[in-house]
Amino acid sequence: MKPWILGCRMLFRGDRSQAMILEESLSISSRQLSFRFKSDLEFRGPFRPQVSLAGRIVMTRNPHTGLIDSYQEHWDEKVWDVVKGTKFQL
C-alpha cells in the first residue's frame, strides 16, 4: 500500500484533487469489496491537466489471509473519452 499511496501523491496534486466513494454502492463480503467512485484529479506538471472519472472498483480478498490480492477499476467512459475531456490550467 505504501508504494501505491506514494505513487498517487507524486502523480496527483492532493490540494486540487478529490475522490469520493459513493457509499450507497459499497458492498463487502469475505471474498470481495466493491464500490462506485467519482473523482476529479489534477496531475502534477506543466499546464496542470485535470480529468474527471467515475466508475466502479472491485477488490478481491485472499480467503486465507483476508488481504486484498486483486484490484480492478472499471471506468464509466472509455480511456480515449477521458483523455479528450482533459482540461488544462495555464
Can you give the pLDDT of all 90 residues of the chain as single tens digits?
678 778 888 999 999 999 999 989 999 998 999 999 999 999 998 899 999 999 999 999 998 888 889 999 999 999 999 999 999 987
Q: Going along the chain, which residue ranges are E strands?
A: 18-28, 32-42, 50-61, 68-75
Tell me what pLDDT residue 66 has: 84
Residue type, 30: S
Tell me what pLDDT residue 32 has: 93
Tell me what pLDDT residue 53 has: 95
- CA–CA gap between residue 46 and residue 57 (Å, rounded): 29
- Separation of CA 87 from chain center: 18
pTM: 0.81
